[in-house]
Amino acid sequence: MKKIAILIEDHYQVLEVWYPYLRLKEAGYNPVLTGPAGQAVYKSKEGYPAEQDVTISNISPADVDGVVIPGGYAPDRLRRHDRINSFVNQVFNSGKLVAAICHGGWVLVSAGILKGKRATCFFAIKDDIINTGAEYIDEEVVCDGNLITSRKPEDLPVFMKAILRFLA
């Protein structure tokens, strides 16, 4: 069964964590909530809890078939951890799925994987995406090899279709 890490931190966007988690589970994959060491439960912007399955220090890029990076303000916190950035970089460079939605693009920037890629994100961080050397495209989902990006919660259905198509 393919294992997909879903990165979590405090102030995550509820739909952008739970919609992919439940769709992956429904499709027969093993989604694992993965965050920095230090706490067992992370809370959404509204306080909804997500219990971490494994810390980033206890999972290897070799252990997963991909990573999903939800938005909210969590990505600004996630990108501060070298281990998170290294994990995403290694998953990407292994040709495995790297999918980010909304502000999740911030982690892609810090992981150093966007130069020369096509990507989308929440409009407020498009300058960050462009300044890292990516071509910003304002579409509900942008697929560039093993990189899949979307803009906002309303894009989740097409985001997940693209993810599931890549993993099939």
User: Per-residue pLDDT tens for 124-164?
Assistant: 999 999 999 999 999 999 999 999 999 999 999 999 999 99
Q: Domains of the chain, with CATH numbers?
A: 3-167 (3.40.50.880)
Measured at the alpha carbon of residue 161, what is the angle toward residues 155 and 167, in degrees to the nearest 5? 135
Contact predicate 105/122, CB 8 Å? yes
For the cut 90, the answer to whether the pLDDT of residue 48 exceeds it is: yes
Contact predicate 34/83, CB 8 Å? no
Q: Whole-model pTM above 0.95?
A: yes
Instruction: Enumerate residues 6+ apart whose C-beta is below 8 A from 22.
Output: none
User: Per-residue pLDDT tens for 1-16?
Assistant: 899 999 999 999 999 9
The catalytic residue among 77, 103, 126, 152 is 103
User: Per-residue pLDDT tens for 103-114?
Assistant: 999 999 999 999
Q: CA 88 from chain center: how many Å?
A: 9
Residue 103 annotated to the active site: yes
The sign of the CA dihedral 126, 143, 58, 53 is positive
